[in-house]
Structures are given as C-alpha cells and as structure tokens.
Amino acid sequence: ECQGRKRYLYNGGGCVPAFAFWPNVIQPGATTEQPLCTLDYLPTIASLLDFQIPDDRPLDGTDIRPVLKGEDWTRDKLIPFASNMQRNSPSASIINEEHKLLLWFDPLKEDELYDLQNDPGETTNLIDQKPELAEKLNQELSDWFNSAHNSYENGDYPGYEKQGVFLREYEKDQP
C-alpha cells in the first residue's frame, strides 16, 4: 500500500503503471523495475525518429529504448517532480534508482527520504539516517529547479510564451 493519492508526490500519486506496445521489439509480458517517467517520452521518440534535438536545449528525460527492448540499462538522469497542487503533499521530489527525496518548503515540516526498493510504501523516513544522500539529492533537485526556472523565465524554444506561475515556494527563495 502506498501513501498519497492523485496529484501527491508520494508513490500513491506519482507511481503509476504504464504499458507499451511495440510489435517484434517489446516481448509480450515483459516488465521492468526501472523508474521511468513521461519526461522520457520526448528523447525516446526523437531517437526513434532519428531526430537530432538541438544540444543547447535542456532535456530532463532520457532515451529509454534499451528498456523497451529488454536490454540492460541504467538511468543517467534523476527524475524530478514539482507541484503547487496539494497542501498535504510535499512540493518537490527527486528520484534516483533507489531513493526519493521529498521537499516541503515548509519550516514546520520535515523533508523526507525513502528507499523505494525496500520501502515502496514510503513508511520509513531516512532523512536523519542518510544526511549526505539527502544533501546530494537536494543539490541535484536545486540544479534542476534552476534550469527549469531559467526555461520558464527565458524560454528555451522558439515562440515561447510564459504561462501560469512557476513553483511558488521556489520563487520565494529567489533573489
């Protein structure tokens, strides 16, 4: 059982099953335990179409064709999430292969770190037991926020028009 629900950054809201169909490539009944996300769609489809994405545009996802083909593969990018949607859910998270760091941006709430391999229900917060890992993931998430905020403010693509608001909690901390 996972905690959280739709639009929460806990596994109950963000960890969802998916399927792919690719005749003669994906073996029927194949599964993976690799963490994948919708950020991976663009680089994967671009690769399938042999489309070269300009190098000066940041991409958060990665090409997952090896996973789809049942080959050995290791994720080379972490999976970031951010949301203004819920008061009862952290506002940002980042996932590496085994762990997830969740940030509340609230001095009254403790940030959270979970071992997703051994605790997919996110019941044991390891933030105090693994402070170095938490800090490393926090820095990675901060780097992603800076990149995403730059993209939001300046646009990385032709014809960009700023829409909505960036993560409010992040913007409060900016100069």
What does the pLDDT look like over 76-86, one tens digit per residue? 889 998 887 66
- Rounded CA-CA distance 95/98 in Å is 7
DSSP label of 67? H
Mean pLDDT of the region 4-12: 69
pLDDT at residue 42 in the model: 93
Mean pLDDT of the chain: 86
pLDDT at residue 48 in the model: 93
- Rounded CA-CA distance 55/59 in Å is 9
pLDDT at 49 over 80: yes
- Residue 4: which pLDDT band, with cuts at 50, 70 and 90? low
pLDDT at residue 122 in the model: 93
